[in-house]
Amino acid sequence: MKNRLDRIRPFLTSLTLKFKRKPKSLPAEAQKEAAEPAPRAKAKDDRFGLISWVVTVLLVIALLGSALLWKNASASKGPLIQATPLPDSNQPQVPLPDSGAGTNGMDSIHRELQLKTKIPERPRYEPVTYHVRRGDAMIAIAEGFKVKTETILYVNKTVLDDNPHSLRPGMELLIPPVDGLYYEWKEGDTIEVVAEEFDADPEDIMNFPGNEIDLTDPTIKPGSTVMIPGGSRELRDWTQDLVTAGRSNDGSTGTSDFGTNVCGGGPIASGFGWPAASHNISGNGYGPGHLGLDIQANEGEAVYAAGSGVVTMAQGGYNYGYGNVVQIDHGSGYVTVYAHLSQINVGVCTPVGQGTLIGLAGSTGNAFGAHLHFEVRLGGSNINPYDIVQ
């Protein structure tokens, strides 16, 4: 290194003497070269600027990353403020609920995410119109609107004529908001008299919002349609059109002669079973507007005698809407009815046992689709088949 400095020193000394000898004013070309920076110095400056920008960007990224890491770390940690015991040691210590993160504190209140806003169902005070579609059943329509089947019959008398089997696709049914019926107010009517007529409560009539009755002056204009909540009326008993056919009065059976059938004695039922393979109700259950069960049975499926007895009716035709129908007298005043059959396999006065094939299910008469209409009558009056069938 010392040898190199010794070599360079004379060169620098001679160069200094040359500059001292030159005039103060340099040529234009020399001045231009002196003014321009050396290429190496310029490249060095550019490199320094690039490095400065890179370092700045890296610092910004580092700061942002540090902020995100700190935020995530704070969220995963326990609460910053721990519950401190009450100064009074006599008071009970109530621990805060566990947040689920392994601490005894509570870092947040968790809420279940709901994608849909639940809007509470508003009460309905006006009737709606329902269009009957293929496959509908009266019991299903009633359950859908949370009313009874007889309520639909009360309100739609002109359409259904008090017979649930009159239901047909394309019908328009008026469905009230609550169980009861509508009444057209007449001149001279009073709330108390109308309520008594339909076995209803006068307070329910006045307080029903849909009636819009002024409680300070509870008068109703004649011609107004008023909802009678909880009201009822007599429905036509279609079972009376089909006379109960029993065997003659025989001391051995104790069965009254309800009709003109004279078959004499025969088997007496000791119990009753289901008349079809299915135990499901497909149309209408037992009630004031339907004194039997509509049991699920496809076209052509077997129909059986519910108990031992004697066939007292095996009749084809419309039969007041029953269609092809069979009646069996089981003794002791019990008679069963099987309606809407597509085929009858027994004749009058034929003795049968429980489970005997008596016909095939169908949709004859006033039937909305294939099923078995099944009735149980005691002393000529209908009873709920569920009370005796097992």
Question: Who has greater pLDDT, 42 or 256?
Answer: 42
Q: What is the pLDDT of residue 97?
A: 52
CA–CA dist 190, 46 (Å, integer): 104
Specify the fold of 128-229.
Membrane-bound Lytic Murein Transglycosylase D; Chain A (3.10.350)
pLDDT (mean) for 77-87? 51
Superfamily of domain 238-387: Glucose Permease (Domain IIA) (2.70.70.10)
pLDDT at 330: 95
Q: pLDDT class for 83, splitting at 50, 70, 90?
A: very low
The lowest-confidence range among 33-37, 134-138, 266-270 is 33-37
Confidence category of residue 327, pLDDT binned at 50, 70, 90? very high
Question: What percentage of residues in the chain have a pLDDT greater than 70?
Answer: 72
Q: Where are the domains of the chain?
A: 128-229, 238-387
At 252, list the tokens: 């051995």
Q: Give the residue, 239 or 142, on which the prediction is more confident.
A: 142
* Least confident segment among 136-140, 300-304, 342-346, 386-390: 136-140
Residues 135, 62: Cα–Cα separation, whole Å: 69
Is 311:170 a contact under the CB 8 Å cutoff?
no
What is the SS3 assignment for 38-91?
Answer: CHHHHHHHHHHHHHHHHHHHHHHHHHHHHHHHHHHHHHHCCCCCCCCCCCCCCC
Mean pLDDT computed over 23-41: 52
Res. 335: pLDDT tops 60: yes
Look at residue 298 and tell me whether its pLDDT is greater than 90.
Answer: yes
- Mean pLDDT value across the chain: 81
Is residue 303 scored above 80 in pLDDT?
yes
In this structure, of 13-27, 105-119, 172-186, 363-377, the range with the lowest mean pLDDT score is: 13-27
Which residue, among 172, 143, 149, 148, has the nearest Cα to 162 in the 3D structure? 149
pLDDT at 246: 86
Identify the sign of the CA torsion 381, 384, 386, 388. negative
Greater confidence (19 vs 336) lies with 336
* pLDDT for the residue numbered 254: 44
pTM, to two decimals: 0.62
Q: What number is the average pLDDT over the span 106-113?
A: 56
Residue 200 or 88, more confident: 200
Quote the pLDDT of residue 287. 84
Instruction: Tell whether the model's pLDDT for residue 275 goes beyond 50.
Output: yes
Least confident of 137-141, 146-150, 196-200: 137-141
The number of angstroms, rounded, from the C-alpha of 97 to the middle of its chain's C-alpha atoms is 36
**What's the mean pLDDT in 300-311?**
97
Cβ count near 285 (within 10 Å): 18
